[in-house]
Structure 1
Amino acid sequence: MDLDTRTGTPQASTEAKLLVVDDEPNIRDLLASSLRFAGFEVVTATDGNQALRTIESDDPDLIVLDVMLPDMDGFTVARRVRERDNATPILFLTARDDMDDKIQGLTVGGDDYVTKPFGLEEVVARIRAILRRTHAVDEGDDGTLRVADLILDEDAHEVHRAGVEVELSPTEFKLLRYLMINAGRVVSKTQILDHVWEYDWSGDAAIVESYISYLRRKVDQIEALDGTTVVPLIQTRRGVGYMLREPKGE
């Protein structure tokens, strides 16, 4: 039990603190009430600027962010959050079931996407899945993973390639870790979805392709400290999946 800092009385512990950002009062209040009932602490914001201020002051564990806001869209909010080196997970809410919107949301640093109208149970499930994969990355394995000149330090949550530090989002970090612990073997898109996203994406594997592309740009398309270009480690097996493998001869 925690103590209410205002009254000194015991209160139930919560799973995590969430920020719900939506300019529609009915949706915002319904989401906030439902998430509190599910065991979360919830703060709210009605527009992008208020959301950015609340993120700074309240330090939420996850942001539920509507795409359509009166002052700036949710993608701009997410971009500004990431520009501040803030890796807080983001779940987008949108009225459009558009793949381009989904890809844009993930590109600017989102972790998942829910289309309106949505079921409250689905939102809670996705929030818990995001929190599991972003706050429990090590999953019982300690130490450092190495493949060729790629090093992933789970304790420090750092990645280095050829001596250069690589900045990854929590989801990118977990995807890279999954590839590294399976180095030398092909993993399918379904396996990646199960182990990295921990949620049924209803057969939509485009999210995997997008994140593999992000990882390649960050891990396989950089210069080493000596100015040379690194050798790509992430390989595609068309129709099967992906594999992380040391270059031949090493």
Structure 2
Amino acid sequence: MSNNKYKVLIIDDEANIRSFMGAILESNGYQVLTAATCAQGKMMFSSHCPDLVLLDLGLPDADGTDFIRTVRAAGGAAPILVLSARSDERDKVQALDLGANDYITKPFGTGELLARVRAALRDRRPGPAAPGECFQVRGLRIDYDARDVSLDGAAVRLTQTEYNIVALLAQHAGKVMTYSAIIQGVWGTADAGSVKKLQVNMANIRKKLGARPGENPYIANELGVGYRMYGE
């Protein structure tokens, strides 16, 4: 058995997929648990308390979203990464809104899978930042107490709304946040122009963070779904 502290539960009805992902994870030091159905996945999750779940949505006995809903309703906080052949935006939004941390469309590369796993296993800081806490990724630094943002040591002048967006994304670094979750967290309510308002603010933020067209140095744009602050 691996000495790595992280246990990963793979829930997928295809034996070859379970075997393939299991081999990749085990060769990188993770402990692997597997389940072929939603019911088995719930049982394994309850009895083994994995650190992370890789979940297929197309399970034979129930949709994978039922697993997400059940685990989150019971207070389970382990990151859930959906790995699915479904590429429809609505499926992604539903899974993320129910509590999935990320959504990877099949087929995917080994490097991407491992990177997403590493990101999900890092401290997500899901609640408000603790007093004196700072966030740093590459050259970007956020001092929550002072509400200051700097880039390579130089101050970045953000509006109050822009700062609130950046701070919220940083507190959930590595996790895809849907448009609705960001809007709720920043404005507290939604109106007909909320998504456009968010996109305008995000364009200003990325410009102030020095992003050139086509680049995502700090904040990834999950098209049609939301945004993700990189965790490293």
Matched to 1:186, the amino acid is E
Report the counterpart of residue 34 of structure 1 in structure 2: 24
Q: Which moved more, 1:46-55 or 1:187-196?
A: 187-196
Residue 142 of structure 1: CA displacement? 4.8
Residue 210 of structure 1: CA displacement? 3.1
Matched to 2:180, the amino acid is S
Report the counterpart of residue 185 of structure 2 in structure 1: 215
Contact 2:80 2:100 in 1 (8 A): yes
Alignment equivalent of 1:77, drawn from 63, 67, 71: 67
Percent identity of equivalent pairs: 33
Instruction: Give secondary structure in 2 for the equivalent of 1:240.
Output: helix
Contact 1:103 1:210 in 2 (8 A): no
Distance in 2, matches of 1:238 and 1:112, equals 20
TM (norm. structure 1) is 0.60
Residue 30 of structure 1: CA displacement? 0.5
Q: CA RMSD in A?
A: 3.5
Matched to 1:240, the amino acid is N
Question: Structure 2: any 5+ residue segments left out of the alignment?
Answer: 134-141, 149-159, 190-196, 206-232
Contact 2:11 2:53 in 1 (8 A): yes
Question: Structure 1: any 5+ residue segments left out of the alignment?
Answer: 1-10, 146-177, 202-206, 222-235, 244-250
Change (3 A) 1:212 1:63: same
Greater C-alpha radius of gyration: 1
Change (3 A) 1:72 1:213: farther
Q: Deviations over 1:218-250 (max 9, x none)?
A: xx46xxxxxxxxxxxxxx66612499xxxxxxx
Instruction: Give secondary structure in 1 for the equivalent of 2:122.
Output: helix
Alignment equivalent of 1:105, drawn from 92, 95, 109: 95
Distance in 2, matches of 1:126 and 1:90, equals 11
TM (norm. structure 2) is 0.64
Distance in 1, matches of 2:170 and 2:73, equals 29
Distance in 2, matches of 1:191 and 1:85, equals 25
Instruction: Give secondary structure in 2 for the equivalent of 1:20.
Output: strand
Distance in 2, matches of 1:237 and 1:50, equals 40
Q: Deviations over 1:100-153 (max 9, x none)?
A: 11100101110000111111211110011011143x669xx75488xxxxxxxx
Matched to 1:104, the amino acid is Q
Structure 1 residue 61 corresponds to structure 2 residue 51:
yes
Q: Deviations over 1:33-81 (max 9, x none)?
A: 1101111111000000000000111000011000100001110110011
Which structure has the higher relative contact order (CA within 8 Å, separation 6+)?
A: 2
Alignment equivalent of 1:239, drawn from 181, 200, 204: 200
Residue 213 of structure 1: CA displacement? 3.3
Distance in 2, matches of 1:237 and 1:47, equals 38
Alignment equivalent of 1:95, drawn from 75, 85, 102: 85
Report the counterpart of residue 136 of structure 2 in structure 1: none
Distance in 1, matches of 2:112 and 2:71, equals 25
Distance in 2, matches of 1:215 and 1:103, equals 17
